[in-house]
Amino acid sequence: MRRVLVAGALTAGVVILPAAPAMAAPLTIPGVGTFEIPDIPGLPPLNIPGVPAPGAPLAPQVTPAAKAVQAAESKIGAPYVYGASGPDSFDCSGLIQWAYKQAGVSLPRTSYDQAAAGTPVSRDSLVPGDVVSFYGGSHSGMYIGNGNVVHASTSGVPVKVAPVDSMPFDGARRY
């Protein structure tokens, strides 16, 4: 008799209780595989430091060019010294080389070598971080957007921002 009551109660429970919707979220572990992880309502989310929550937007990646622009702009006002490559004073190519070094990128030291390396870029395709050559390659600056470059121009003039059009454009390179 007890067996009949248990069986009846189980059957009634299955018939009376609605089924919960099956919810699962895929979890991919690189090198291991993808797994369906059930979502349990009412369970607090698992927060792991340094790991974005599922569905959370990823932090934007800062490119080496953007880091170089930030580094170069941080030196606006630093003195020009011929042959100097930072961190306190610069000549034109020294500023460019130093800024990219802060971003983990190795560039040639002289303006002429900077104008010959990298990937050629047209004036119409300039993006922040491009190295712009002027005066036949004897001077370099870094394009920072909005038609401007940051550069170390000459003795007595500190690192400054100037319009690209303020000097005779010779070419540009992307690193």
Residues taking part in catalysis: 92, 139, 151
Helix (H), strand (E) counts: the chain: 4, 8
Residue 114 and residue 97: Cα distance in Å, rounded? 9
**What are the distances in angstroms from CA 142 to CA 27, 37, 109, 133?**
43, 49, 14, 9
Give the C-alpha separation, 131 to 65, whole Å.
Answer: 10
Strands 33-38 and 160-163: unpaired
Name the DSSP class of 122: -
Distance CA 31, CA 120 (A): 38
Q: Residue 145 phi/psi, 5° resolution?
A: 100, 165
